[in-house]
Amino acid sequence: MKRYLVTGGSGFIGSRFVHHILGKYNDVSLINVDKLTYAGNQENLKDVSDDDRYRFYRDDICDKKRMAEIFSEHKPEIVVNFAAESHVDRSIGAPEDFIQTDVFGTFVLLEESKKNDVERFIQISTDEVYGSTLGEPFGETDPLMPSSPYSASKTGADRLAYSYFKTYDLPVIISRASNNYGSHQYPEKLIPLFITNAIDDKQLPLYGDGLNVRDWLYADDHCSAIDFIISNGVPGEVYNVGGGNELTNIMITDRILELTGKSKELIKFVDDRPGHDRRYALDTAKLSALGWDPAIDFKTGMEKTVNWYIDNRSWWEPLKSGEYLEYYKNNYGIEL
Ligand code: NAD
Ligand code: TYD
């Protein structure tokens, strides 16, 4: 039996990963440690809450005492660290939580993993650590030039995790994935915000000229890549995980309007994000050579995603209230 400890398992990608592991393997136990910030949602794991193999702890990864207790009680073999503050725009307005959770929280988990001799520590990093490129896609050994407090914090965590491999022989593996999309993503990121706004005939705030480029990866593909890396990755190594779908934000917006049957008049060009990275692009040859490639094409992934938000209004509607509404009104003059 394999013992997993997943952090941030109640968020967007973490919850897909918990489903992936419990769906694929019978002989496992899985602990989910999640603080349930605004981005964590118990609805995401409601269907596994009674599963004997699963246990949830509402805790903060920065809490050294609690992490020590949880590690010593469960002796995890595989630690997968998803827990993070994850939204670039929030990191621009209020960076402190990013530094605390993304860097210090990772440090606490690394320390406990070292003390408890875990077999694998998977640090879920991001393509944003490389910064922007208008030229060649970034490979794993390219310099890191993060531009936002979010990506800088993630870079700190990424390199701190590596230092525990190099200095203490902790079997750390780092994955750097591109932008994820899919069901259960909090409606502040581009795709779920625009889908849910379009469903309700609300405006879509497109930053700057709308020509920034991201490489879109279906979240279930990201989870299968992490699972693959746990079994096949080499400790101390970094693996880029891309979707192979580089698209401008305008192209994404057009696709959402097409799939929801709404007019381009909903698009509202707004002020650009400060420090906005122009393009993220990954060279994914290393993971491909090891034997993993994404399985879900963008057309299918987007259709599934839009249909999920259409069918699951009860999941996202309650999230669009209070301070959330104030934010869009005050910053972009948009009434949601
Ligand atoms: P998310 O914001 O949806 O979820 C983050 C989860 O972490 C939430 O459940 C939240 O409650 C929890 N959390 C936050 N602070 C915590 C703390 N101090 N202690 C315990 N739990 C805490 O994020 P996501 O989009 O699912 O991203 C998950 C991970 O993947 C992050 O590390 C992110 O940097 C990385 N990543 C995300 C993307 C993407 O496009 N979303 C791409 C590449 C990498
Ligand atoms: P986002 O989903 O926040 O991911 P990230 O910034 O981490 O890549 O944004 C994706 C792209 O969409 C990015 O170029 C910023 C842009 N964007 C908008 O134009 N409008 C929006 O309301 C949001 C949230 C993002």
Contact at 8 Å (CB) between 173 and 122?
Answer: yes
**Token couple for 259:** 């799939």
Q: What is the pLDDT of residue 81?
A: 99
pTM, to two decimals: 0.99
| Known catalytic residue at 328 | no
Inter-CA distances, 327 with 109, 194, 211, Å: 33, 15, 24
Quote the ligand 2 centre to 190 CA distance (angstroms): 5
Contact at 8 Å (CB) between 154 and 146?
Answer: yes
**Catalytic residue chosen out of the listed positions 60, 128, 188, 221:** 128
Q: What is the pLDDT of residue 77?
A: 98
CB within 6 Å of ligand 2 — which residues? 88, 179, 189-190, 193, 205-207, 212, 214, 249, 273
Which residue's alpha carbon is at the smallest distance from atom 12 of ligand 1?
Answer: 8
Which residue's alpha carbon is at the smallest distance from atom 11 of ligand 2?
Answer: 190
**Token couple for 328:** 């869009």
What's the gap between Cα 221 and its chain centre? 12
Q: Which fold has domain 2-180+218-241?
A: Rossmann fold (3.40.50)
Q: What is the pLDDT of residue 237?
A: 98
Sites in the chain below the pLDDT cut of 50: none
Q: What is the pLDDT of residue 252?
A: 98
Contact at 8 Å (CB) between 286 and 250?
Answer: no
The CA distance from 303 to 307, in Å, is 6
| CA-atom Rg of the chain in angstroms | 19
Which ligand is nearest to the Cα of residue 218, counting in written order?
A: 1
Q: What are phi and psi of 93, to 5 degrees?
A: -80, -35
Which atom of ligand 2 approaches the CA of 204 most closely? 22
194: number of Cβ within 10 Å: 28
**Looking at this protein, which amino acid is placed at residue 245?**
N
**Catalytic residue chosen out of the listed positions 4, 54, 150, 280:** 150
Q: What is the pLDDT of residue 261?
A: 98
Query: Domain locations in the chain?
Result: 2-180+218-241
Which ligand is nearest to the Cα of residue 277, counting in written order?
A: 2
Mutate to test the pocket of ligand 2, among 88, 179, 190, 331 (most ligand atoms within 8 A of CB): 190
**Token couple for 251:** 């192209």
